Amino acid sequence: MTNPTETFLSRSQQARRWSVSKRSVERWGEDEQLGLPPEIEINGRRYRRLSELEAWERSRAVAAATKRSDHKLPKEEVSRSA
């Protein structure tokens, strides 16, 4: 059951949130590898739950941080290259 106080964001609101075009949000939704939360249709318009978007943003931030830390050189290699 849906939480009656749940906040939903339209594609336009999502685009403003991330400073991208509405079309970018649409493309991201089509890209299964990104794992964007599913849309909900209300009165013919498409929305995503804010709570799910926030969880998705956190997971993307963790993945990006992990990827960056994997690319760091070990201290020994850094001192050799200097």
List Cβ neighbours of 36 (8 Å cut-off, separation of 6 or more).
28, 29, 48, 56
CB-based contact 11:22 (threshold 8 Å):
yes
Backbone angles phi, psi at 46, to 5 degrees: -105, 135
Give pLDDT tens digits for 14-67: 999 999 999 999 999 999 999 999 999 999 999 999 999 999 999 999 888 887
Residue spans per domain, the chain = 8-72
Q: What is the pLDDT of residue 75?
A: 63
Find the DSSP H helices in the chain: 11-18, 22-30, 50-70, 75-81
At residue 3 the predicted structure's pLDDT band, cuts being 50, 70 and 90, is: confident
Residue 79 has pLDDT above 60, yes or no: no
Q: How far is CA 11 from the centre of its chain?
A: 13
Q: What is the pLDDT of residue 19?
A: 98
